[in-house]
Amino acid sequence: MPPRKIWILGVLLVLLATFVVFDLGRFLSLEYLKAQQHAFAALYAESPRSIVAVYFGLYVLVTALSLPGAAIMTLAGGAIFGLSLGMVVVSFASSIGATLAFLASRYVLRDSIQRRFGARFVELNRGMEREGAFYLFTLRLVPLIPFFVINLVMGLTNLPVRVFYVVSQLGMLAGTVVFVNAGTQLAKLESVRGILSPALLGSFVALGVFPLIAKKVVGLVHRRRVYSPWRHLKPKRFDRNLVVIGAGAAGLVTSHIGAAVKAKVTLVEAHKMGGDCLNYGCVPSKSLIKSAAVVQQMRDATKYGLARPAIQFKFAEIMERIAGIIAKIEPHDSVARYTELGVEVLQGYAKIVNPWTVDIAMNDGTQQRLTTRNIVIATGGRPLVPDLPGLQEVGYLTSDTVWEIREQPQRLVVLGGGPIGCELAQCFARLGSQVMQVQRAPRLLMREDKAVSIFAQTVLEGDGVTVLTNHEALRCERVGEQRVLIVRSNGIESRIEFDRLLCAAGREARLSGYGLEELGLAGPTLATNDYLETRFPNILACGDVASPYQFTHVAAHQAWYAAVNALFGTFKKFKADYRVIPWTTFIDPEIARVGLNELEAKAQGISYEVTRYGLDELDRALTDSAALGFIQVLTVPGKDRILGVTIVGSHAGELLAEYVLAMKHGLGLNKILGTIHTYPTFSEANKYVAGAWKRNHQPHVVLKWIARYHAWRRG
């Protein structure tokens, strides 16, 4: 803790100790106030300004130090100054004192509290940014909650000081009037409790509940305003309970859940069932990764005591194998299967005409119009193609179109250093292409820790990829059959010749062509609230079109919230939960992560401890000649609660599942350490990293006494 904070904390503790040691609380009792009422009145009559100033300062001090007695001070204000002046003086003194307590809590305690419970405070602060003033005002209206508690707790959040002061001034006004008025009748009071009769308490509670009711009313008014241009088009009866647009992971799960709870659901898909994951993403890429990994294993045969075989393959056959795997999985996502599950599947292009009507241009040339209570937009994303001069002339591939080629590129340029770019760059390099990966950022996989990025680059370069970080793509040129990419690094331009160029610079939401522009929903992304609702509460969105995490498993996760909120939101809505999101980059060895890494923990100011276990110590990794990598766990300082895990190595994606389960259900490293793991397996690494944490937190004092006990037992 900085010296200034220690000094301030010391002053506060001295003042509090003085209050307790000298029993100053006796001066803040109703009995003392009633006994001295006439004396105070005489002093006020003799020197009104001085008494007001002294009273004001004492009130601020009592409130700022969160001392018991603010209620008595308020009664004193009414007894000495009367209702009008007393209300003004108390109102400002209490608000200023509360703000000083708020600032003291913020300055002395907030950093340490947020470091310790940082992950929880992130979500709390987001809520305070949105509706902090509203909740503070509601709390101020209910005297059942001690005001000093509100002051200290609010100081731990990121609520602006000005907002805290203004809302406190207004919110405490009703209670101030009641207590100051009671002070004007001080002689009749038997106890402070007598001020807050059950009826008055009920009134305050009703007053506190009023903003919540008002919020509901405002929501209804806002809802009516949003729908007002369309209200005359709302049908009295609906054809469907739910229309889902898009049959990728999000749309399939949403429609399945809807049908499972016996809603009448229509799923509309214009192209391929299964969406990006089945046809262009997860399935084909992992199939290619496997083929490339087998080629690499053959190349590394001597690592396993084998003679290196002649490596022969036809690229076209590898790509046909991928197409065959897609065909095998297609029935899982087919029209027939979802029809059997109770979903009506229509193949065509959907356009939202109004908040309750969807027009469908069927692939067979017919038209169909459906009215529906709710609509879920699950149209997914598409590869982001950079606005690069000359790109159209030289031609390019994306993660969607690369699966169509049957001739292996000899010289391949990959634009982008994210997961997709890294996975495909490694695959093509292992299959024998000369691959150059161009990344504008200073390193690959910018969301990962620097050590992980370095690991990934080392692995890719070991497989033959030429990684060019800090290189900005400027333009493409074509002269005859020659294709060239011009890049710039450190102010120097250079030329890269290639046969094929693969754009892997990210993805963007697929928003055009669905009528969103006419509804005012179009933009760079599709904005939704915590319940996945757009500005029209009956139109929701999930998956890559709206998700902060563009993963298939997150799309399926969101789909539950979209379906349930759409169909049952009238009774209960659920906020989408993103607290524990795992992901894996499927280069070889894999990189898997859940929760915070060091990069994010430092950015958020969260304190953490690091426990690291190298796979070169794991028996199974050694038997498999796969001892490259590590497990790194971030925990709360001094505790086994897991903040985040990064795993680099073989089977990292599978190893991560145990930590996802632990974080989801609040299990710490001690629980993992106490779980039996099969020997010899890679999963033992999870137990060993927990053991490493335990060794770092041995109770040395206890062990010292135990050693003495054993020595005594030996005689």
Predicted local distance difference test score (pLDDT) of residue 588: 96
Report d(CA 308, CA 324) in Å as an integer.
29
Give the count of beta carbons closer than 10 Å to the beta carbon of residue 415: 24
Helix (H, G, I), strand (E, B) or coil at 633: strand
* Pick from 127, 199, 137, 197: nearest CA to 163: 137
* Pick from 163, 144, 266, 155: nearest CA to 205: 144
240-383+509-568 and 391-506 agree in CATH topology: yes
Q: What is the DSSP string of 700-715?
A: HHHHHHHHHHHHHHH-
pLDDT tens column, 610-657: 999 999 999 999 999 999 999 999 999 999 999 999 999 999 999 999
Predicted local distance difference test score (pLDDT) of residue 200: 44
Predicted local distance difference test score (pLDDT) of residue 105: 86
* Cα distance from N-terminal residue to C-terminal residue, the chain: 47
Predicted local distance difference test score (pLDDT) of residue 201: 47
Amino acid type, 645: V
> Are the C-beta atoms of residues 82 and 184 closer than 8 Å to each other?
yes
Mean pLDDT for 45-49 is: 86
Give the count of beta carbons closer than 10 Å to the beta carbon of residue 164: 24
Report d(CA 516, CA 109) in Å as an integer.
47
Residue 403 has pLDDT above 70, yes or no: yes
Predicted local distance difference test score (pLDDT) of residue 192: 52
Predicted local distance difference test score (pLDDT) of residue 301: 94
- pLDDT confidence bin for 317, thresholds 50/70/90: very high
- The sign of the dihedral angle between the CA atoms of 694, 696, 699, 705 is positive
Predicted local distance difference test score (pLDDT) of residue 82: 84
> Are the C-beta atoms of residues 106 and 155 closer than 8 Å to each other?
yes
Predicted local distance difference test score (pLDDT) of residue 151: 85
Q: What is the DSSP string of 262-320?
A: T--EEEEESS-TTHHHHHTSHHHHHHHHHHHHHHHHHHTGGGGT-PPPP----HHHHHH
Mean pLDDT for 675-679 is: 97
pLDDT tens column, 324-352: 999 999 999 999 999 999 999 999 999 99
Choose between 568 and 525: higher pLDDT: 568
Report d(CA 422, CA 454) in Å as an integer.
13
Predicted local distance difference test score (pLDDT) of residue 520: 86
Instruction: Look over the chain and give the mean of its residue pLDDT values, rounded to a whole number.
Output: 88
Residue 499 burial (C-beta neighbours within 10 Å; 0-12, 13-18, 19+): middle
Mean pLDDT for 518-529 is: 83
pLDDT > 90: percent of the chain: 61
* Topology annotation, domain 391-506: FAD/NAD(P)-binding domain (3.50.50)
Predicted local distance difference test score (pLDDT) of residue 63: 86
Polymer length of the chain: 715
For residue 13, give Cα distances in angstroms to 17, 60, 67, 206. Answer: 6, 17, 12, 38
Report d(CA 220, CA 228) in Å as an integer.
12
Predicted local distance difference test score (pLDDT) of residue 521: 87
Predicted local distance difference test score (pLDDT) of residue 44: 80
pLDDT tens column, 117-174: 665 666 667 777 777 777 787 777 765 667 778 888 888 888 889 988 998 888 888 7
Report d(CA 269, CA 267) in Å as an integer.
7
* Residue that has been written with the tokens 């890679």 in this structure: 682
Predicted local distance difference test score (pLDDT) of residue 205: 52
Report d(CA 15, CA 537) in Å as an integer.
53
* Pick from 543, 507, 509, 501: nearest CA to 526: 509
Report d(CA 604, CA 590) in Å as an integer.
26
For residue 23, give Cα distances in angstroms to 29, 40, 68, 199. Answer: 11, 21, 12, 34
Residue 266 has pLDDT above 60, yes or no: yes
Mean pLDDT for 233-255 is: 95
Residue 189 has pLDDT above 70, yes or no: no
CATH architecture of 589-700: 2-Layer Sandwich (3.30)
- pLDDT confidence bin for 458, thresholds 50/70/90: very high
Predicted local distance difference test score (pLDDT) of residue 118: 61
Mean pLDDT for 496-500 is: 96
Residue 208 has pLDDT above 60, yes or no: no
Domain boundaries, the chain: 3-211, 240-383+509-568, 391-506, 589-700
Report d(CA 74, CA 69) in Å as an integer.
9
Q: Does domain 240-383+509-568 have CATH number 3.40.50.300?
A: no
Report d(CA 648, CA 592) in Å as an integer.
6
